[in-house]
Amino acid sequence: MVSFSYNLPNAGTQPKHILSSSDISYGRLCQILDLAQAMKRQRLENPQPIAQVENRMLAMLFEKQSLRTRITFETAMHELGGHAIYLTKSDIDMGQRESVYDVAKNLSQWSAMIVARLNSHATLCQLAEHASVPVINALTDMEHPCQALADVLTITEKFGDDALKVAWIGDGNNVANSFAVMASKLGHNVVICTPPGYEAASYVYSEPNVEHCYDPKAAAEDADVVYTDVWVSMGQESEEQERIERFAKYQVNDAVMALTKPNAIFLHCLPAKRGFEVVDSVIDGPKSLVFEQANNRLYAQKALMHLLLENRIA
C-alpha cells in the first residue's frame, strides 16, 4: 500500500465542506496541488490503493448528467481504497420525495463523504449544513470548484509557479466563477471577457487580479491561457437562440489564439459545442490541453478527498 502523510494539525471535529473555491485557502490549495502531482506520478509508475481510506463509502448525489465528474470521482475513491455509490434524482428526488435535511442525516450515517452535483447552490448549502461528514460541490448553478482545481493543476504543470495572464472568454458562468477565484489565489491575472449582461458573479471581481472586459481580442492579447466553456449550459436550453446570437463574437478561433503568447495553452472544461464557442482547429490544435485538463480531474479530486478523509484540511 502507498502512503501519503503530512505533519499537519488536526482540523477538529466539525466536517470541512468544499462548496466553493473560496473554501480553499492559498496554503491548502498548494497542498492539494502538490499531493495531486505526487498521486499522478505514483499512479503512472506503480498504481496501488492508498490504505488510509480503505473500505470507506462515498455517496455521490447527482441531479445532473455527468461524464468526467462521475467517472473521476468513482475512480479516485476506488483507487483510494474505498467505494462509491451513485444516486440520481430518480433515486432520491431530494426536496420532493424526501427533505434535504433527512437526506443529509441519512447519508451521514452510512458514508464518509458526500459529493453533490445539484441544480441549486442553495440546496447544496442546506445539505452541508445538516451533514456530519464532508460535502464536496461537484457542480451547482453558482460554482464548480473541483473543475477549477483540475484547471489550475493543468496550468501549474505547464508553467510552474509563474504569474500568468489568463483570459476567460465566453459566458461568466459557474465554472468562470470558481476558476477566476482559484486562479487569483495563485497570483494569476484573470481577465473575464463576456458579452454585456453575462458577467461573472459580482463577488468574483472583488478578488485581487480579476478584471472584466467586453473585447475578446483585448482579453486574448499576450495571454498565457485562454479558457472557454459552452454558451448554453444545462438548464438554459430555452435561451439557446438568444445566447448563440449574443456570443457569436466571443468564439475562440485561430485569429483569437494568434493574439496569445507563443507558448500559450487553450482550456475547455468540456463537453464542447464545436463550431460555437470553439473551432476544431483550436480544440484539437497544438495549444490545446483539454484532455489532459480532463485527466487532471482524477488527481485533483483524489488529493482533495484524501485530505478531507484524513481530516487534514483546516
Q: Which of 28, 56, 144, 188 is flagged as catalytic?
A: 144
Is there a domain that residue 13 lies in?
Answer: no
Quote the CA–CA distance of 145 and 128 in Å, as a whole number. 15
Tell me the average pLDDT of the chain. 93
Q: Is residue 139 part of a domain?
A: yes
Q: Is residue 105 part of a domain?
A: yes
- Whether 127 and 163 map to the same domain: the answer is no
- CA distances (Å), origin 165, targets 200, 201, 263, 287: 18, 20, 12, 15
- Same domain for 288 and 152, yes or no, is yes
- Clarify whether 117 is annotated catalytic: yes
Pair 132, 202 in one domain: no
Q: Do 57 and 132 belong together in one domain?
A: yes
Q: Is 229 assigned a catalytic role?
A: yes
pLDDT of residue 53: 60
Q: What is the DSSP string of 212-254?
A: EES-HHHHHTT-SEEEE--SS-TT-GGGHHHHHHHHGGG-B-H
Q: Which of 126, 147, 251, 301 is catalytic?
A: 147
Confidence category of residue 310, pLDDT binned at 50, 70, 90: confident
Residue 234 has pLDDT above 90, yes or no: no
224 within some domain: yes
Check pLDDT > 90 for residue 180. yes
pTM: 0.94
Residue 191's pLDDT is what? 98
Q: Domain check: are 130 and 220 in the same one?
A: no
Residue 174 lies in a domain: yes
Q: Please indicate, yes or no, whether residues 254 and 154 belong to a single structural domain of this protein.
A: yes
Known catalytic residue: 274? no
CA–CA gap between residue 136 and residue 147 (Å, rounded)? 12
Q: Are residues 260 and 173 in the same domain?
A: yes
* Model pLDDT, residue 11: 40
The single residue of 146, 171, 229, 301 carrying the catalytic annotation is: 229
In a domain, 99, yes or no: yes
Look at residue 6 in the predicted model and tell me its pLDDT: 40
303 shares its domain with 288: no
Catalytic residue among 268, 297, 306, 312: 297
Which listed residue (28, 68, 117, 188) is catalytic? Answer: 117
Of the candidates 125, 146, 193, 269, the residue annotated as catalytic is 269
7 class by beta-carbon count within 10 Å (0-12 exposed, 13-18 middle, 19+ buried): exposed
Residues 303 and 247 grouped into a single domain: no
Residues 127 and 172 both lie in one domain: no
Answer yes or no: 254 catalytic: no
Mean pLDDT, to the nearest integer, of 197-218?
Answer: 98
pLDDT, position 236? 84
**CB-count exposure of residue 30 (10 Å: 0-12, 13-18, 19+):** middle
Catalytic, 297? Answer yes
- CATH code (residue 47): 3.40.50.1370
Domain that holds residue 166: 146-294
d(CA 10, CA 32) in angstroms, rounded, equals 16
- In sequence order, the 6+-apart residues with CB closer than 8 A to the CB of 283 are 266, 268, 272, 274, 290
| Total number of domains constituting the chain | 2
For residue range 96-152, list pLDDT tens digits in order: 899 999 999 999 999 999 999 999 999 999 999 999 999 999 999 999 999 999 999
Same domain, 171 and 64: no
Residue 6 forms part of a structural domain:
no
> Is 124 domain-assigned?
yes
Q: Do 117 and 184 fall within a single domain?
A: no
